[in-house]
Amino acid sequence: MTLNQLSSGDLIADRRADYAKMLAEAGEPESAADLMAQALERVPEWAAGWFRLADYEEKSGRKEAAIDALRKTLRLNPKDIFGAGLKLALLGATEMPEQPPSLYVERLFDDYADRFDQALVEKLDYSVPEKLAALIETSTAGGHFEHVVDLGCGTGLFGERIRERAAFLEGFDISANMLSKAETKAVYDRLARADLSLPPEQSDVFGNFAAARADLVSAADVLMYLGSLDGVAEIVGKLLSDGGLFAFSVEDAGTDDGFVLRPSLRYAHSEAYIRELLQSHGLEMVAVERTIIRMDAGQPISGILFLARKPA
């Protein structure tokens, strides 16, 4: 995210920060941290600078210094656009939050929107939209849907794959820039901004929309940006008509239960957690498929695809 490169407003501090970044990229995180600390002596209220310092300190093996810098970041930026709270949890300084800050997720994808399709599909071998569409195809014998709701639609990668099977397709995303990209594809009948971390009664979107209007709700590669999925399950339960399907993916936690926060600042969920979630919200499992969903730093990321149904 380029947000951590925002100017401090001080030319000398910015220059030192640029040199620090060069040192870090050259494999000298300790020197980078020392120079970044000098920059922050001039601009001690620079939240983005403290976040960058935390990264250099962590890579230098100075955990306590990294924690201190992250706490300063949070003090200066309580809404946490940088995800400092998530980093603190990974360093063991706080409990794992059940949700990331909404503003962090929004800004992350606003910044990512222009290069999203190319980065995911061409560089990271991202395959969830195709695989999820194929799972739906197989499980429904190629049936069509009257109303599809694509949660966390992004730029419309899944929407493109379900469009021909949907009489009406609407997409929701937290990022205005992602929605703008999706709009240019002319795939959706309706697009709107929505925060999936909010339960339906707190959402300006899902709290006011007609219930039981969708016979398919999708969430392709979205739920890893949420920890607890109870709120999403409530939204899905409200949106689905009787007999409607919920198709979604998660990163595989590789554990027996619960969910975990990974160094990528994404959450991974266990199959057991998902099964319990669906059961507690009155949804029946239809199909489960384990697969590789993308590459990350040259390593394959394991995921699980699910298809569930709201009983008729």
Q: Is the pLDDT of residue 255 over 90?
A: no
CA distance 205 to 154: 17
Cα 263 to chain centroid distance, Å, stands at 13
Residue 256 lies in a domain: yes
Note the pLDDT of residue 208: 58
Flag whether pLDDT at 119 surpasses 90: no
> Same structural domain for residues 178 and 239?
yes
Per-residue pLDDT band for 1 (boundaries 50, 70, 90) equals very low
How far, rounded to the nearest angstrom, does the alpha carbon of residue 198 sit from its chain's CA centroid? 14
Residue of 255, 256, 257, 248 lying closest to 286 (CA atoms): 248
Residue type, 158: F
Q: Does residue 241 share a domain with residue 157? A: yes
Residue 205 has pLDDT above 90, yes or no: no
210 — pLDDT class (breaks 50, 70, 90) = low
Radius of gyration of the chain (CA): 21
Claim to verify: residue 58 and residue 133 sit in the same structural domain: no
Question: What is the percentage of the chain residues whose pLDDT exceeds 90?
Answer: 81
Same domain, 114 and 75: no
In a domain, 83, yes or no: yes
Q: pLDDT digit string (tens) for 31-44?
A: 999 999 999 999 99
pLDDT of amino acid 4 = 43
pLDDT for residue 47 is more than 70:
yes
Q: What is the distance of C-alpha 140 from the center of its chain? A: 28
AA letter at 83: G
Beta strands in the chain (DSSP E): 145-151, 166-173, 190-193, 214-219, 240-251, 259-261, 267-269, 284-296, 299-309
The mean pLDDT value for 163-171 works out to: 96
pLDDT (average), residues 159-186: 96
Residue 123 has pLDDT above 90, yes or no: no
Neighbouring residues of 179: CB distance < 8 A, sequence distance ≥ 6: 153, 171, 173, 191, 192, 193
C-alpha count within 13 angstroms, C-beta hemisphere, residue 46: 27
The lowest-confidence range among 5-14, 99-108, 211-220, 232-241 is 5-14
User: Residue 291: is its pLDDT beyond 50?
Assistant: yes
Domain count, the chain: 2
Q: Do 89 and 149 fall into the same domain?
A: no
| DSSP assignment of 273-285 | HHHHHHHHTT-EE
Q: What per-residue confidence (pLDDT) applies to 3?
A: 43
| Residue 100 covered by a domain | no
Average pLDDT over all residues of the chain: 92
Indicate the pLDDT class of residue 163, thresholds 50, 70 and 90: very high
Q: Tell me the mean pLDDT in the region 227-246.
A: 94
> Final residue of a domain: which of 95, 118, 149?
95
264 and 196 belong to one structural domain: yes
> Within this chain, do residues 40 and 149 fall inside the same structural domain, yes or no?
no
**Among 69-73, 202-206, 299-303, which is the least confidently predicted range?**
202-206
Report the C-alpha gap between 225 and 231 in whole angstroms: 13
Nearest to 105 by CA among 260, 216, 226: 226
In a domain, 102, yes or no: no
Assess whether pLDDT exceeds 80 at residue 120.
no
What is the domain range of residue 294? 110-309
Residues 88 and 117 in one domain: no
Q: Residue 112: which pLDDT band, with cuts at 50, 70 and 90?
A: confident
Place of tokens 């220059």: 15
Same domain, 9 and 125: no
Q: Provide the pairing of β-strand 214-219 with 190-193.
A: unpaired
Q: Are residues 144 and 275 in the same domain?
A: yes
Band (20; pLDDT cuts 50, 70, 90)? very high
At 58-87, the pLDDT tens digits run: 999 999 999 999 999 999 999 999 999 999
pLDDT number for residue 257 = 87
At a CB cut-off of 8 Å and minimum separation 6, what does 19 contact? 35
pLDDT band at 157 (very low <50, low <70, confident <90, very high): very high
Could you tell me if 219 and 284 lie in one domain? yes
